[in-house]
Amino acid sequence: MHDLFQVSESSSSSQESNEGESQENIGVHSSSGRLKVTFLASEWRSSKGGLSTLNRELAINVAKSPEVEVTFFVPRCNDDDKKAALRHKINLVQAEMLLGMDELIWMNFPPSDLQIDIVVGHGVKLGPQAQVIRKSHQCKWVQVIHTAPEELGMYKTYSNPVSVNEKKA
């Protein structure tokens, strides 16, 4: 399988080793022979800033590999978003709306028939959902962290910038 999607056998600090699971190269579960990677995101477009852009660009670049089938799982999307994603060979899947719950909580529940080998969470907003999906879909979990809120806070001019950045991440 592509080197990008291998779990190091020598790593002793992974989530899997903490739970007693064996560490091995990620196997493909689907009949297509392609690795099924699902990215969690708050949106396809970038109306909310850098997190959306980073998730989308990462997914677009991963989707360039013929060995990988990419799904982008979002709380809301429209037909234009789906068409734009398909131009990059990405399947855009909208979460089911759950009344009385924040839309990011909807992200805990991807369709049960969505095949996932790897779920990719991002920061504190989309990391908890990846943990839940890892268990419900029995897949591997990759967590993207690209900011340090306490370091960003020193450059902000509003009050409590560290706690605000922790919530944004």
In this prediction, the residues of the chain whose per-residue pLDDT falls under 70 are: 1-31, 148-169
- Gap between the Cα atoms of 55 and 41, Å rounded: 7
pLDDT at 8: 33
On whether the pTM is more than 0.75, the answer is no
pLDDT digits (tens, 9 = 90+) for 87-120: 999 999 999 999 999 999 999 999 999 999 999 9
pLDDT at 14: 38
Q: What one-letter code names the amino acid at 145?
A: I
Nearest to 140 by CA among 25, 12, 2, 10: 25
Enclosing H/E stretch for 25: none
Domains and CATH numbers, the chain: 28-168 (3.40.50.2000)
DSSP β-bridge partners for residue 119: 38, 141
- Gap between the Cα atoms of 30 and 9, Å rounded: 23
